[in-house]
Every structure is written in structure tokens, then in C-alpha cells.
Amino acid sequence: MEPARTLALVAATLTTGLLAGLLFAYACSVMPGLRRTGDRTLVEVMQHINRAIMNGWFLAVLLGSALTTSLAVLLQLPGDASPALLPAVAALVLLLAAIGVTGAVNVPLNNALEAAGPPGRITDPAAVRAQFERPWVRANLVRTVLCTASLGCLGWALAVH
């Protein structure tokens, strides 16, 4: 049982770390870089990014982080009270909250941005940008903090395991 517990915690830490890193990259480089561009450019680039990110690697990390963290929690339950259970549960709650923000805020904003149509045909790209950028950046910051906190809890779980 111990090797399975360890492997699940390591896998959860790795996948959650990759997800936290991706979200952090948006927070500290992608969106600040796009903030300095024109309205039509921001819309066009984010439309391309939103299409490109829907790939097997991203989905494996997003879904994999939830699955491996859930597995890590479940494997801490049998037998004696594992000292890794509390931080693993906290990690799962934080991770699911981050994924919830993604589904409730970022994805609908991405969909609305796509629905605006081809950037060259948008009559008011400033309005499209205004409806998208600020709420998306704020939600991304929230999910970055949640995911990073989840990663910290998984590190804690590994340390006490």
C-alpha cells in the first residue's frame, strides 16, 4: 500500500505543479504582454490560444491533476490515520476550487470571445476586450493562487508521508 500512496502523491504533485505553472505563466507573462497590445490583437491572440490549449497534453494535466489528487486522498483513507490525509484533502479541495473557477468564469469568457467572431470582422474590438480581459485576468489570478496552494499542500503531504 505504501508504494501506491507514494506514487499517487508524487503524480498528484507533478500534475498539479504543471497546472499551477501554466496558470502562473498566464498571470506573469502572457496576459501582461497582451495588455500592451491593441484590442484586436488581444482578441485574436487569445482566440488562437484558447483553440490551441484544447489538446491532449493540457487535458491530461487538468484531468490528471484532479484524478491523481483524488486517488492520493483515497489511498490515505485505509488503515491507520495517515498524517498525509489532511494536507491531501486540502489539496483536493483547493484544486477543485481552481478547476471550478476555470469552468465557471474562464471557459465562459473564452467561449464569449470565440463567439465574437473573426477579429477582422469585429466592429468594436475594444468592447469585446473590455468584457473579456479584466474578468479573465482576475479569475486566472484566483485559480493560480488556489492551484499553487494545492501544490503546497501536496508538498506538505509528501513531506509527512
Tell me the pTM.
0.95
Please give the mean pLDDT across all residues of the chain: 96
In whole angstroms, how far apart are CA 14 and each of 17, 45, 142? 5, 28, 20
pLDDT in tens, 50-83: 999 999 999 999 999 999 999 999 999 876 778 9
Write down the pLDDT at residue 2: 86
